[in-house]
Each structure stands twice: as C-alpha cells, then as structure tokens.
Amino acid sequence: DTNTYMEYMQKTMKSNWNPPKFDKSMSTIVQYTILANGTIINAKVKKSSGSSDMDNLALHTVESVKLLPLPHEITQQTGMANVEFTFNYNLQTN
C-alpha cells in the first residue's frame, strides 16, 4: 500500500545518504517524481541548505537510487507520485 511504499522509499533514501562531515547542521529539501516503474525524474532542490555541496549531494542521492515500481493504488489514480524528501545533516558535537 501507499504507506508501506513511502516507508520503503524513506529507508532506501536514508541508506544511500552518506554525507561527509560539514561544519554545521543543515537540511535540503529535494522534490522529485516517481514514475509507475519506480524511475525517479525531475529531481530538483526545493529548499536549499545554503551549501551547494550539501544540495548537490542530496540531488545525487535521489538520482542514484533505484526504487521498486509504485503500488497499483497510486498508479491507478495518477500513474506517478510527486514527492518531497528532506535530507538532514546533524552536526555531532562530542
């Protein structure tokens, strides 16, 4: 179902998100479309972190992920899913 697919997509994105060390905490919001076959298209930064390195890494992560096809309940309505995903980097201070 839709919720299960979105949880799967979140886990997939997070497992592919391996940012280097930055000097501050920040986040980037990437907007993209998932086609019925799971292909991601039209990825773009919707909200910049203020760091082009962070933004580019978030975009690269989205563009490099391979997803499973969308569930039927999504594709029968629109044939695709428009998604916004937030990539966070939290500075660890120890």
Q: Is 83 exposed, middle or buried (0-12, 13-18, 19+ CB in 10 A)?
A: middle
Higher pLDDT, 32 or 74: 32
Provide, rounded to the nearest whole percent, the portion of the chain with pLDDT above 70: 97
Residue range 13-58, pLDDT digits in tens: 999 999 988 889 999 999 999 999 999 999 999 999 999 999 999 9
Give the model's confidence band at 93: pLDDT under 50 very low, under 70 low, under 90 confident, else very high: low
pLDDT at residue 9 tops 60: yes
Predicted local distance difference test score (pLDDT) of residue 6: 92
DSSP state of 36: T
The pTM of the full predicted model, rounded to 2 decimals, is 0.90
Whether the pLDDT of residue 59 is over 70: the answer is yes
